[in-house]
Structure 1
Amino acid sequence: MTTAAAKKAVVRAAEVAATDTEPSFVSVEYKGKTYQIAVGDDAPIEVLEAESDFDAVKAILGPEQWADFRSTKQTVGDYKNLSTLIFEAMGEDNAGN
């Protein structure tokens, strides 16, 4: 997935969530851990500023969840799998690294 596609996923999720007054979150489970992902207008602004998919995923997860993910000695393959799950959960149907 390109960074532009990641940004489109955030915008698309924002359009879907536009009628909600509650914060919009989805849960992504990977290797026994559950990550809470803010979507739509509740996604962090850093996602739009990201210059790479890697930076976008870090912004989406936020510092605490990113540190938690990293603390378990994940591999590049793990990052790719998690990022695919994240972008799919945000509504990006062609997620791929």
Structure 2
Amino acid sequence: MAAPRKTAASKTSLAAKQAEATHNEKTEDEAPKVATFEFKGETYEVPADPLDIPMDVAYADSEMDVIEIVVGPEQWEKFRDTRPTIRDFGKFSELVLKASGQGEDEGN
């Protein structure tokens, strides 16, 4: 019995699968998008998508720990260098959560 011949359709299907695999690899390798906001004259960057926030937030003991994890150690120090009040932390926290896609919707 003769081996089945590859048809144009099977070649196209293989090429499509390879292209999709390459696209998926590129998507996974791309750096997460970031959102920026300003607080007290300083610019901060956080992941724009809540799914890109470090998993460590699941183990945080307080809201302050969550915010520290989301902004990262260098930006947390920058925030702390402003000698913030509790009120300042509340405002900063709202900005972090909103920028990272976790804040409340404007319409609510």
- CA shift, 1:58, in A, is 0.6
**Other-structure match for 2:86:** 76
Deviation string for 1:41-90 (max 9, x for gaps)? 43222222212211100101111111111112111111100101111122
Paired residues for 1:1-97 under 5 Å: 21-38=30-47, 39-94=49-104
CA apart distance, 1:94: 3.2
Instruction: Measure, in 2, the Cα distance between the counterparts of 1:20 and 1:87.
Output: 25
C-alpha RMSD over aligned residues: 2.4
The answer as to whether partners of 2:71 and 2:96 remain within 8 angstroms in 1 is: no
* Most deviating of 19-28 and 41-50: 19-28
What TM-score, normalized by structure 1, do the two folds share? Answer: 0.67
Q: CA deviation at 1:40?
A: 3.4
Choose between structure 1 and 2 for higher RCO, CA contacts under 8 A separated by at least 6 residues.
1
What is the CA distance between 1:91 and its match in structure 2?
2.3
Gap regions ≥5 residues in structure 1:
1-17
Structure 2 unaligned regions, length at least 5: 1-26
Instruction: Name the SS of the counterpart of 1:94 in structure 2.
Output: coil
Larger radius of gyration: 2
* Cα separation, 2, equivalents of 1:93 and 1:84: 7
Q: Among the aligned pairs, what percent are the same residue?
A: 35
Q: What is the rounded CA distance, in whole Å, between the counterparts of 1:62 and 1:31 in structure 2?
A: 18
